[in-house]
Amino acid sequence: MTVSSDPPVTDFAPAYALSLDKLAGFLVAVAALVWSVGTNDGPLSFAATLGLAVLYAHGLELQHEALHGIFLRGETANRLAGSLLGAPMLASFTDTRVRHLHHHRHVGTPADVFDRSCRDFADRRALVLHVFEPARLPMFLRATFVLARGGCPGPFGAKSRARARTEHLALAALAIALIVTGGIFAPRLLVLGWLVPAFLIAPPLHFLMTAPDRLGRDPASRDLTQNTRSYRAPALWSYLVNYDNYHLEHHRYPALPFHRLPAVHARRMGENSHRSGYGAALREGAAAIAACRRTG
């Protein structure tokens, strides 16, 4: 059977009830695991911390759908939900949205400065810095400072810059409040319930969630079949990445609710839909990283 490169897609109907379930599940699970960290010691506390890291990374994948305005009904609802989902990792909604949509417009061109490139893997130090993102907190603070002074740290318009400023200042105030109150009254909960899972464990987890989307593909091609990858994965993994493993279909239909991407992928690939899995995507990505390191 030949592979269809452009199957007809007509069902763009939103799935707001499903999104509300996802959002509620995220918030309830985070609250339960934070409570578990605060009330348990030893292995249970460690397991809860690891679970929070998975959830914080998952929150960024749910936020992704809100960035496209299709998670909930209306701009305000998407902004609020996206802000909640990105808050643990200080991913403000408007800043992330502007950069992400810039990526969609310019994927496969030199203007796509927000995608990965060989400079991120040129040597061991660059690889570690990219995967673990130790600069996440300093970069957030720097962007907040620039926005607070009326500067523009990204490709913002006047409206988006004002919104990004408000969101950054609110997130900064929340982070300071958590650090001060947690440092005084619950330092262990602060460290194991937020700082360690959000800034030590979640970044490499999120790298593993997103790296297979494009690593090992041709970054200089405008052809989505060449610069972007879709791959099948177990149901739990597809849920954790919010079906973004079907990344080619997402770029082709960015307004399509994410849970419908697997069906579009299956129609596009036909009998070949089973051939590309997460393991193969990781191996191709690892080979691309190795090639970057060889070329310096």
CB 207 within 8 A of CB 131: yes
Q: Which two tokens stand for residue 149?
A: 């002074």
Q: Which two tokens stand for residue 52?
A: 């929070």
Say how many domains are in the chain.
1
139 is a domain residue: yes
145 is a domain residue: yes
280 is a domain residue: no
CB 214 within 8 A of CB 247: yes
At residue 275, the pLDDT reads 61
| Burial track 78-105 (b if 16+ CB lie within 10 A, e otherwise) | bbebbbbbbbbbbbbbbbbbbebbbeee
Q: Report the C-alpha gap between 65 and 199 in whole angstroms.
A: 22
Residue type, 120: D
80 is a domain residue: yes
The position carrying tokens 């996440």 is: 136
Query: How many residues are there in the chain?
Result: 296
Neighbouring residues of 42: CB distance < 8 A, sequence distance ≥ 6 = none
With a cut of 70, list the residues of the chain below it in pLDDT. 1-10, 271-275, 296
CB 51 within 8 A of CB 33: yes
At residue 268, the pLDDT reads 82
The H-or-E segment that residue 244 falls in is: none
At residue 9, the pLDDT reads 66
At residue 271, the pLDDT reads 59
| Residue ranges making up the domain that contains 173 | 16-210
Q: Report the C-alpha gap between 73 and 245 in whole angstroms.
A: 24
At residue 3, the pLDDT reads 40
287 is a domain residue: no
Q: Report the C-alpha gap between 171 and 169 in whole angstroms.
A: 5
| Cα separation of the two ends of the chain | 42
At residue 121, the pLDDT reads 86
At residue 1, the pLDDT reads 30
200 is a domain residue: yes
At residue 289, the pLDDT reads 87
188 is a domain residue: yes
pLDDT for 56-106, tens place per residue? 999 999 999 999 999 999 999 999 999 999 999 999 999 999 999 999 999
Q: Which two tokens stand for residue 237?
A: 């993994």
pLDDT for 167-183, tens place per residue? 999 999 999 999 999 99
Kindly tell me the sign of the dihedral angle through the C-alpha atoms of 257, 220, 121, 164: negative
Q: Which two tokens stand for residue 201?
A: 């464990």
225 is a domain residue: no
At residue 285, the pLDDT reads 86
